[in-house]
Amino acid sequence: MAGQSLCGVAQGFSGNSPLAVRAGLVFTPAMHQEIKLAREVSAIQIPSGDALSLPAGTAVFITQRLGGTYTVATSQGLARISSQDADALGVDLEEEKKKQEDAARLKDAPLEEQVWAQLKGVYDPEIPVDIVNLGLVYDCAIDEIDGKNVVSVKMTLTAPGCGMGPVIAADAQAKIMTIDGIDDAKVELVWDPAWNQEMISEEGKMKLGMI
């Protein structure tokens, strides 16, 4: 699969078969039921990272519910909708409730463990594996600077040209900043060493059907 990238090409849907093709792998949607948005929703185009507005009544298919966001297939291609607009999709928030319970459980855990837990809640909208198990996080450190706890993360993307990179990095930073005791977080995108599929964890490979 040399030369291929998981940042790949996000395809729109045709009929009832929305697909996202990555590095020779085809991801089919978890749901095939058409949903019409109950109201206008702000979304992010995948993989360009451009902002767009989806009008009320727009027909979408949910293809992924991970990391507190929803990836949907529309006639214009794939888009990411935040959890705060879940009501427009008519979905329940049980997953968010579970995450809140997990966050409460981790509240007394060491800060480093809490940071890694938050990073495992960050996903590339097109791939059902978090950025940690995908092997995208190269380094994570907590330093005390001027009496403040500052987290520094170095992460990469599956391909340098992926338009969703800044969005994913911002998502990681925002999640880290929700931790009590963390005063600042910096997420840097790096390209050395270049990412390859061998960096995916065993758990990640199982989810992707690679083993």
pLDDT at 18 over 60: no
CA distance 142 to 152: 6
- Give first-to-last CA distance, the chain, whole Å: 15
**Which amino acid, 13?**
F
Count the neighbouring beta carbons within 10 Å of the beta carbon of residue 161. Answer: 9
Three-state SS at 196: coil
Query: So what's the pLDDT on residue 93?
Result: 67
Residue predicted with more confidence, 177 or 5: 177
Give the model's pLDDT for residue 185: 98
Query: Of 67 and 134, which is predicted with more confidence?
Result: 134
Cβ count near 77 (within 10 Å): 19
Domains for the chain: give ranges and CATH numbers. Answer: 9-89 (no CATH), 98-207 (3.30.300.130)
Res. 6: pLDDT tops 80? no
Ordered strands of the 51-54 beta sheet: 35-36, 59-66, 69-74, 77-82, 41-46, 51-54
* Alpha-carbon gap, residue 8 to 151, rounded angstroms: 30
Looking at the chain, the whole-number percentage of residues with pLDDT higher than 90 is 59
Q: What is the DSSP letter of 130?
A: B
pLDDT digits (tens, 9 = 90+) for 136-194: 999 999 999 999 999 999 999 988 888 889 999 999 999 999 999 999 999 999 999 99
36-66 pLDDT, tens digit per residue, is 999 999 999 999 999 999 999 999 998 888 7
The predicted structure's pLDDT at residue 99: 66
